[in-house]
Amino acid sequence: MQICKTLEELKSQIQFYKANRRSIGFVPTMGALHDGHLSLCKAAKNENDVLIVSIFVNPIQFTQENDLIHYPRTEENDIRLLSSIDCDLLFMPTVEVMYPIKQDIIVGFGILEQQLEGKYRPGHFNGVGIVVSKLFHLVQPDKAYFGQKDLQQFLIIRKLVEQLNFPVQLVCCPIARDLDGLALSSRNARIKEEHRAEASLIYQSLLYAAELIKGNSLTEIKKAVMKYFAPTTSLQLEYFEIVDSRTLLPVSELSLPNELAICVACTLGQVRLIDNMLIKI
């Protein structure tokens, strides 16, 4: 596996791949890799000649300094994991390489970024839009792989690609989960031992709501879910929303679309966790 830390190294390798007509599958990450990331990498490896992974903890998408400072970094282990799955190239730039001058371009995503995560993390999707645009220009992938785990992020990137004509095909991969259903996340490493059991409630609440969707009103479902979380002491619910899975707009009883997403965000101790489930009715 080749490791590139500078733009020059990356550029010359991309030129080589392009000259040799190798198709590029790209998985952008922030590192602290887990099986969720690896499932994206495996899909990319299977469907392309070359697998490129980036690891970059993107400061401009963090809305809380503390979250950025404590974001897990496990460089050595990440390199080992990526080598073990035959990743061809790892792009691991520093902040100075990605942002040599102050980054002040703003990208907006209209009403899509005002929902869910956007409400709680203002400016987050601007940071995502900027870094993904830069990475797409640098890596020039044929296909790029993202996780359904960050559903709103996927929809934001799809909008970016469609409206700015990036010549890349996007692939949305299923959510990889722990044995008890907790969606894998780099942030899970920060969950305290004594809180870990409660974390499984997040996925269970999605299953519960999905079951209630047949035969109950949205208000009843939300009430039932709130009750479900009530006895927990460490888990603080931030939002629990049933939305149209294409727009992420809240749905009403009267205009239920046939594709819904149940989306949840909460904090467990100091750790913010999100999850979702897609439902066809």
CA distances 234 to 126, 199, 231, Å, are 31, 9, 9
Number of residues that bind ligand AMP (CB under 6 A): 17
Among the candidate windows 62-70, 111-119, 144-152, 195-203, which touches ligand AMP by CB under 6 A? Answer: 144-152
For residue 146, the minimal CB distance to ligand AMP (Å) is: 4
Q: Does 78 bind ligand AMP (CB under 6 A)?
A: no
Respond yes or no: is residue 137 known to be catalytic: no
* Residues 186-205 contacting ligand AMP, CB under 6 A: 186
User: Is 241 a residue that touches ligand AMP (CB under 6 A)?
Assistant: no
Query: How far, CA to CA in Å, does 84 sit from each of 38, 42, 78, 103?
Result: 10, 11, 10, 35
Q: Is 30 in the site for ligand AMP (CB under 6 A)?
A: yes
Nearest-approach distance from CB 204 to ligand AMP, in angstroms: 16
The Cα-based distances of 88 to 1, 13, 173, 258 in angstroms read 5, 10, 20, 41
Residue of 4, 13, 26, 36 that binds ligand AMP (CB under 6 A): 36
Contact (CB, 8 A) for 47 and 25: yes
Closest to ligand AMP by CB, 39 vs 205, is: 39
Q: Which residues contact 56 (CB under 8 A, 6 or more apart)?
A: 28, 30, 31, 91, 92, 93, 98, 131, 135
Does position 140 interact with ligand AMP (CB under 6 A)? The reply is: no
Q: How far is the CB of 210 from ligand AMP (least distance, A)?
A: 18
Q: Which backbone phi and psi does 268 adopt, to 5 degrees?
A: -125, 110
Residues 158-177 that bind ligand AMP (CB under 6 A): 173, 175-176
Task: Please identify, using beta-carbon distances, which residue of 141 and 147 lies nearer to ligand AMP.
Answer: 147
- Give least dist CB 214 to ligand AMP, A: 26
- Please list the residues that pair with 26 across neighbouring strands: 52, 144
Judged by DSSP in three states, 239 sits in strand
Pairing of strands 143-147, 169-173: parallel
Which of 37/140 has CB closer to ligand AMP?
37
Q: Does 141 bind ligand AMP (CB under 6 A)?
A: no
Q: Which residue in the set 185, 188, 245, 276 belongs to the binding site for ligand AMP (CB under 6 A)?
A: 185
**Closest separation in Å from C-beta 102 to ligand AMP:** 23
Q: Is position 146 an interface residue for ligand AMP (rule: CB under 6 A)? A: yes
CA nearest to 205, candidates 175, 185, 174, 230:
230
37 binds ligand AMP (CB under 6 A): yes
Q: HSE-up of 215 (CA within 13 Å, CB side)?
A: 3
Catalytic residue among 37, 124, 137, 195: 37
Q: Determine contact, residues 187/266, Cβ cutoff 8 Å.
A: no
Identify the three-state secondary structure at position 175.
Answer: coil
CA pair distance 183, 36, nearest whole angstrom: 8
Q: Rule CB under 6 A: choose which of 13, 29, 48, 152 binds ligand AMP.
A: 29
Residue 63: CB minimum distance to ligand AMP, A: 15
Catalytic residues, by residue number, are: 37
Residues that bind ligand AMP (CB under 6 A): 29-30, 36-37, 39-40, 146-147, 149-150, 173, 175-176, 183-186
